[in-house]
Structure 1
Amino acid sequence: MSSLAAKQAEILRQDGNTCFKKDRFAAAIEAYTEAITLCPNVPVYWTNRALCHLKRNDWKRVEEDCRQAVVLDHHSVKGHYMLGLALLQRKEYAEGVKELEKALDLGRSANPKGYMVEEIWQELATARYLTWEHESTKRSWKLQNLREACMAALKQKQFLDTSDREGFVDETAKFDRDQIEALGRVFDKAAVDDTPTEVPDYLCCKITLDIFRDPVITPCGITYERAVILDHLVKVGKFDPITREPLYASQLIPNLAIKEAVRAYLEKHGWAYKTD
């Protein structure tokens, strides 16, 4: 790579950054693509272009660019992070979680208090819950199919055995019922751990009803998702949507207690099913 090509590529990167800040994503992609053509071994050009694709919800290209970025730089936080998000979009939950975990580990090593660490953690927490929910649903279907097959086999066996016990009709009927009920209890117990639980109301935003990622509390004592309440303050008005009391962004305080409760809840219901 010549120094001239490198300088031209950097100019193109800066042009791309300028376009990106103006939401001109197509122009930014074009600039980053030209930079990549000149210097294909620079990871940041690939992650910058991937971010543009992400803004346009072009997840296939996000994945392609991020895969190239992490090949060039195994320690690319943004590369692993956006690759994880792209994989989650394809419902590749286990692989997506692995990439987010890698991004989180790298981010904590590089800058423990950086904004990306918090952002990655929030996405990872949600991804882990989605992974558990997805996997538990699949196991529930398999368990139900197995239950039906076992019940059918048991009834078939009982039907074939009936002729051998014609003189003991009452005892046979009671024995049959006991076996079926016992089998049902076994499957009921097996299904308990894989039954998705309702997220407690206090762990959900009162506006979106979704589980908190970044909870903040107002002077009135009500907790909201930060992005949601900030959007409300900008687009609707400077007041609490529930109490209608005056409210300003500067008055919002992180609700660390709820955040920890969310973490504990997701660890109990989601992280236990993490794939190695």
Structure 2
Amino acid sequence: MAQETKELSIQFKDQGNLWYSQKDYQKAIELYSRAIMINDNNPTFYLNRAKCFKMLKTFDKQYQDSLKAIELDDSYIKAYIVNGEALVELGKNDKNTAKIEKGILRMKKALNMCFKQNQKNFEKEIQTSLKKAEKIKWYKQTEIDSHDKERLMYQIRGKMDNHQDDQDILGRFEKYLNQTDPRYEETKNQAREHRSTHKEIPDFLICRITDDLMEQPVVIQSGFTYEKSAILKHFQINGNIDPITRQSVDPNILIPNHYLKQATEYYLERNPWAFQYIPGELYLQYHM
């Protein structure tokens, strides 16, 4: 490629970046597309356009462009992140969690590449995207399980009502459900008892201000631990006092509680239902 042509494609890319910074994503897409028409072997052009599609919630095109960036440069960490995020968004409308799980794998690959390439500046971004994806996966799986249980409840209660005295039919039906649906036994008990299992999160993982799991737990001068954003907002509104003891504290003394953060992550890995108790912005994003 001639140097002048290459420079022209870079100019279009730079102009696209300017429009992107001004949040005119459609104009940015036009300029990135012009850059691609001149040079279709530059992965950055595709990734930048993919990020515009992400902002416009055109997730299929976000996926396609970020995948093209990966094909052109399979060590492009940012492309794996954006591609994984697109898969997660596309998976929200599916009947299973396959795309969401594939997106999570892409992000985990990006995280591994961070360590191998010593590019730790991406680590926090990937961890945030992974946590969001895991929560979306939990909501999706809960939605699927809920539909399956509703179907089973209908079948079980219908059979119970229609064949109360026919043990042979009930026995054959129960055998069939046991073979075809591993959730049958649990659902059958719920159908009989008309109740759900109640689950509780250990108190020490819950912020006493928000009543939610803590993502950034910090210890303040009084020795109590709170969610960082919540305690800062408390200081701003109520002054520099501990919300429980009411004693005066130095608002600048906020010590990250690494032990509690690790304990929360460990708990979430083994109790994915608890993702619903992470502060609620993501819940709104998922159900929009």
> What band does the TM-score fall into relative to the shorter chain?
0.5 to 0.7
1:247 aligns with 2:246: no
Larger Rg: 1
The residue aligned with 2:270 is 268
Q: Which amino acid aligns with 1:247?
A: P
- Alpha-carbon deviation of 1:44? 1.3
For residues 78 and 86 of structure 1, the distance between their equivalents in structure 2, rounded to whole angstroms, comes to: 12
- Alpha-carbon deviation of 1:260? 0.4
Aligned pair partner of 1:110 in 117, 126, 129: 117
Asked whether the 8 Å contact 1:129–1:266 carries over to 2, the reply is no
Aligned-CA RMSD value: 4.2
Residues 130-149 of structure 1 aligned to structure 2 (within 5 Å): 130-149=136-155
The residue aligned with 1:74 is 74
- Alpha-carbon deviation of 1:117? 1.4
The residue aligned with 2:225 is 222
For residues 14 and 34 of structure 2, the distance between their equivalents in structure 1, rounded to whole angstroms, comes to: 12
Q: Which amino acid aligns with 2:226?
A: T
The residue aligned with 1:125 is 131
Asked whether the 8 Å contact 1:218–1:253 carries over to 2, the reply is yes
In the alignment, structure 1 segments of 5+ residues that lack a partner are: 163-175, 272-276
| Residues 1:161 and 1:83: Cα distance change in structure 2 (over 3 Å) | closer
Q: Which amino acid aligns with 1:266?
A: L
In the alignment, structure 2 segments of 5+ residues that lack a partner are: 93-98, 179-183, 191-195, 274-288
1:159 aligns with 2:161: no
Count the aligned residue pairs: 245
Asked whether the 8 Å contact 1:140–1:195 carries over to 2, the reply is no
The DSSP-based 3-state class of the residue aligned with 1:74 is coil
Give CA deviations for 1:159-183 in whole Å, capped at 9, x if unaligned. 3579xxxxxxxxxxxxx9xx9xxx9
The DSSP-based 3-state class of the residue aligned with 1:146 is helix
TM-score (norm 1): 0.66
Q: Percent identity?
A: 25
For residues 12 and 208 of structure 2, the distance between their equivalents in structure 1, rounded to whole angstroms, comes to: 45
1:42 aligns with 2:48: no
Deviates more, 1:43-52 or 1:194-203: 194-203
For residues 28 and 237 of structure 1, the distance between their equivalents in structure 2, rounded to whole angstroms, comes to: 44
